[in-house]
Structure 1
Amino acid sequence: MASIYLIIQTKKSPAAIYLRLRDGRNLDIKSKTNFHIDPINWDDKEQRPTKKALKDINIANLNTDLATLKNDLLKEYNSSKGKKIIDAQWLKDFINPKQESIKHTNKLVDYIDTFIEFKKSDVKNSTVKKCNVIKNLLLRYQEHTNSVLNIRDIDATFKLDFEKYCIKVGYAPNTTSRNIRFIKTFCRHAKANGVETHYQLDSIKAKYHKVDNIYLDEKEIEAIENIKNNDLTEGLENARDWLLISCFCGQRVSDFLRFDKSMIRYEKNKSGDLKPLIEFTQVKTGKIMTIPLHSKIIEILKKYDGDFPRKISDQRYNDHIKNVCEKAKINKPTPGVKFDKLTKKKVKKDYEKWELVSSHIGRRSFATNNYGKIPTSFLMYITGHTTEAMFLTYIGKSNKDIAMELTNYF
């Protein structure tokens, strides 16, 4: 019976991880993989990263990749035995298969097109657009540095230099972090297709940065509710109602602006009372969602004979709700960032709060205003955040904020 071993052969870091395949006395072959690890994080006996090291998400991902590699090798060996010559070259070809159909796989910008081709049937159009945006950013970066990026060039030095460039040309820190995570995804995909990557790839970290989270508090939402209809045009009144709906449903603009009465159904709760629910498929994630409709939303629907307000484009909605919030006198000086059309740069300073309002504000307002009132797990279900850490970052809660809330229990 075949046995597969994972070994390292040096105490120097980074150490290459080798695969050894044995089957009785007739087969004993070994080849270097594309994976590396610091020897202090390796358990020779268990042939895997140490339990302590697995607390690091990058090493945990490495452990998963190694387990997958062993499993795939065993399947390939069993299907090839007796049909192919099983030797060291066979093992090398398994680890780094020839990719004749992929052109220029060593160049990062070119590989993005390959990545899109592989993934286009599995991801949303918005993801493909992001990939192309990052591709164009990398082209500008290459022009700036007078260089051509190979996939194996993506290391800690690249990360630092790329961050400096992005800050210089006006990208927000979190946008830059997101782009770096995408670049790592491209490289990992290339690695799975046999393209050489830098040993530092998995150790590159792109953290979220705390930002000024703009949201509407409950008094401001009430002020929006209380705007007299005579003070609003028909278009602004329609946008105002959509804004209120977003503040009470917690969904992305790509989802709630598609709501219509056909999505609503009534179900009995434990008390036997009929409660309105709305079911829809999220555009970004493709996830089917069922959430309760807030009583405030039901009141708005009565204005429209049980339906939602008139449909409106994302851009028109974004423009209108600024005017709505200005009408509601939401003008408290608030730090924020706006794009200056004259200088073509983003300017950070204090603005009247209504100027900083955008189509995303309803979702964040819902999450922030209900934090501590509704169990966090329920809020995360509605907003779609997969981890509590992501959710707390989203609403701008720091460790100090959480610690102060915990004092209520001590």
Structure 2
Amino acid sequence: MATVNFLYRSKKDEAPLNVRLLYRVIENDNYKDYVLGAKTQFTVSKHYWTKEHSLKRVRDIEIANKQTEVNTELNKLENHILNAFSNIQNTTINKTWLQSTIDNYYNPVESKSIPTDLISFIDYYSENRKDEVSIVSIRKFNVIKHKMQRLQEYRGKTILLSEIGEDFKEEFKKYYQSENYAQNTTQRELGIIKTFCKEAHRKGLVINKELDSLKLKPEKTKPLYLNFKELAQIEKTKNLAEHLENARDWLIISCYTGQRISDFLRFNKDMIRVEKGKSLLEFKQQKTQKLMTIPLHEKVLSILDKRSGDFPRAISDQKYNDYIKQVCEKSKLKQVVMGKKQTNIEKDNKKPAKIRNVSGTFEKWELVTSHIGRRSFATNFYGQIPTNYLIYVTGHSSESLFLKYIGKSNKDIAMELTKYF
């Protein structure tokens, strides 16, 4: 809820009015009030504002006309501010935003036509947010776009943003099922499509009233990670070819730094600084653009010592994924576990491959991917390192998301609490 007031704050006989925006938000289950101020370009006299503007039952025709003129203009400006306020996140509202909104009222910025269909809007969104989101996110958007192009071709009509409601959700779900996409993929990508629609709404487009209620249940999966015993087993494995030893060292580094592949494969010795005898690694996360400083674990330092202070040789993401499977196979991680493995489900060899995550029982090494390092770090150190420190390293936005990420249930958390009783 927000309100707008106009004030005369100058000592001059004539000056532009000031705006005061008042709004309330809920923070930590409590209400918190905010007040922001900015200056308009609408000028009135001090005499009029203090002596005439608030008069009731005015008989002087000139004063009455002036009141009508001023109120009409101020109502337009007030509506402009409140509409802008309703279409933006609280975290981006500040004095600069308010002044910019007022300036935009007097000098509107001409914008390109905003697409009303989903596929075109994905391109529009990616272009407009290219400086705010990561390359990885842009790639995900393109993957969704190509899927929606196929769905659009399948349904025989354009997917309009305004029709993305319950009927579309059911159509979307059935199409993903027919294409053998995993339930969690379906749930996650519907969420991203909702994000596109909400951005369209902020831009002034009409969206479906059912949008906020669109939900799909995620599939419960058991997170796969490498425990400390398995990591020791990997470290002790001998007679690895040079390229596998190189990949093995990267795997150990990832399990003790908790970073994404887009970050840890870029590590180099120039990112290290020593402070008070402790080695710290400084870098900017590619996905979040967050500047990170994390201490280096002794396991990472031992790898650097072995390599004369350098990190392992840089390799591509694909080679890394291929090589760490071979490393884990040679390390005899062959216990049979439940999981999902990327498999070509297309039976016709003449058609393009259809790679999907297929559920089943596999030897553990077959399921190892680049993401296992980050998850292993979070899972192994949970309960040993305060959770808020772990979240700082992994970059999760909340403790609930972090606990979900490592597969901790309410019962698990309760058992952790027993240590303190």
Q: Normalised by the size of structure 2, how large is the TM-score? A: 0.73
- Residue 313 of structure 2 corresponds to which residue in structure 1? 310
* Residues 1:361 and 2:361 aligned together: no
Q: What pairs up with 1:115-194 in 2 under 5 angstroms?
A: 115-194=125-204
**Structure 1 residues without counterparts, runs of 5 or longer:** 7-22, 34-46, 48-60, 85-93, 269-273
Query: CA shift at 1:144, angstroms?
Result: 2.3
The 3 A distance-change label for structure 1 pair 139 and 264 is same
Kindly tell me the number of residue pairs found equivalent between the two proteins. 347
Query: CA shift at 1:313, angstroms?
Result: 1.4
- Structure 1 Cα separation of the partners of residues 386 and 223 of structure 2: 21
- Residue 382 of structure 2 corresponds to which residue in structure 1? 371
- Residue 222 of structure 2 corresponds to which residue in structure 1? 212
Query: CA shift at 1:64, angstroms?
Result: 5.2
Aligned-pair identity in percent equals 48
Identify the match of residue 416 of structure 2 among 397, 405, 408. Answer: 405
**SS class of match (1:211):** coil
- Residue 247 of structure 1 corresponds to which residue in structure 2? 255
Q: What pairs up with 1:66-77 in 2 under 5 angstroms?
A: none
* Residues 1:382 and 2:390 aligned together: no
**Does the 8 Å contact 1:252/1:363 carry over to 2?**
yes
Query: CA shift at 1:367, angstroms?
Result: 0.6
> Match for 2:307: what amino acid?
Y
Q: Over aligned residue pairs, what C-alpha RMSD do you find?
A: 3.5
Q: For 1:136-170, what per-residue CA distance to the aligned partner results, in whole angstroms no more than 9, with x for missing partners?
A: 11111122223321111111332233123223312
* Residues 1:285 and 2:288 aligned together: yes
Query: CA shift at 1:132, angstroms?
Result: 1.5
Identify the match of residue 402 of structure 2 among 373, 384, 391. Answer: 391
> Match for 2:203: what amino acid?
N
- Structure 1 Cα separation of the partners of residues 157 and 369 of structure 2: 38
**Does the 8 Å contact 1:210/1:393 carry over to 2?**
no
**Does the 8 Å contact 2:246/2:313 carry over to 1?**
yes
Query: CA shift at 1:75, angstroms?
Result: 7.8
* Residues 1:333 and 2:336 aligned together: yes
Query: CA shift at 1:248, angstroms?
Result: 1.1
Identify the match of residue 263 of structure 1 among 251, 259, 271. Answer: 271
**Does the 8 Å contact 1:210/1:396 carry over to 2?**
no
Query: CA shift at 1:117, angstroms?
Result: 2.4
* Residues 1:114 and 2:124 aligned together: yes
**Structure 2 residues without counterparts, runs of 5 or longer:** 7-18, 24-52, 55-66, 347-353
- Structure 2 Cα separation of the partners of residues 290 and 74 of structure 1: 35
Of 162-171 and 385-394, deviating more is 162-171
- Structure 2 Cα separation of the partners of residues 348 and 333 of structure 1: 13
- Residue 245 of structure 2 corresponds to which residue in structure 1? 237
Query: CA shift at 1:341, angstroms?
Result: 2.5
> Match for 2:259: what amino acid?
Q
> Match for 2:128: what amino acid?
F
Q: Normalised by the size of structure 1, how large is the TM-score? A: 0.75
The 3 A distance-change label for structure 1 pair 163 and 233 is same
Identify the match of residue 360 of structure 2 among 340, 349, 352. Answer: 349
* Residues 1:323 and 2:323 aligned together: no
- Structure 1 Cα separation of the partners of residues 330 and 261 of structure 2: 22
**SS class of match (2:383):** coil
Q: For 1:370-394, what per-residue CA distance to the aligned partner results, in whole angstroms no more than 9, with x for missing partners?
A: 0001000011111111111111111
Query: CA shift at 1:98, angstroms?
Result: 9.1
Query: CA shift at 1:351, angstroms?
Result: 0.1
**SS class of match (1:323):** helix
- Structure 1 Cα separation of the partners of residues 404 and 104 of structure 2: 48
Q: For 1:161-213, what per-residue CA distance to the aligned partner results, in whole angstroms no more than 9, with x for missing partners?
A: 31232233122222222212221221122112221111122333456543221
**The structure with more radius of gyration:** 2
**Does the 8 Å contact 1:116/1:131 carry over to 2?**
yes
- Structure 1 Cα separation of the partners of residues 221 and 345 of structure 2: 25
- Structure 1 Cα separation of the partners of residues 172 and 294 of structure 2: 41
**Does the 8 Å contact 1:318/1:359 carry over to 2?**
yes
- Structure 2 Cα separation of the partners of residues 350 and 211 of structure 1: 13
- Residue 236 of structure 2 corresponds to which residue in structure 1? 226
The 3 A distance-change label for structure 1 pair 346 and 63 is closer
**Does the 8 Å contact 1:98/1:194 carry over to 2?**
no
> Match for 2:147: what amino acid?
L
The 3 A distance-change label for structure 1 pair 355 and 187 is same
- Structure 2 Cα separation of the partners of residues 351 and 241 of structure 1: 24
- Structure 2 Cα separation of the partners of residues 197 and 74 of structure 1: 28
The 3 A distance-change label for structure 1 pair 233 and 198 is same
Query: CA shift at 1:74, angstroms?
Result: 9.8
Q: For 1:196-251, what per-residue CA distance to the aligned partner results, in whole angstroms no more than 9, with x for missing partners?
A: 111122333456543221100111111101112x2x11111111111111111111
**Does the 8 Å contact 2:87/2:202 carry over to 1?**
no
> Match for 1:235: what amino acid?
H
**Does the 8 Å contact 2:88/2:202 carry over to 1?**
no
- Structure 1 Cα separation of the partners of residues 381 and 246 of structure 2: 25
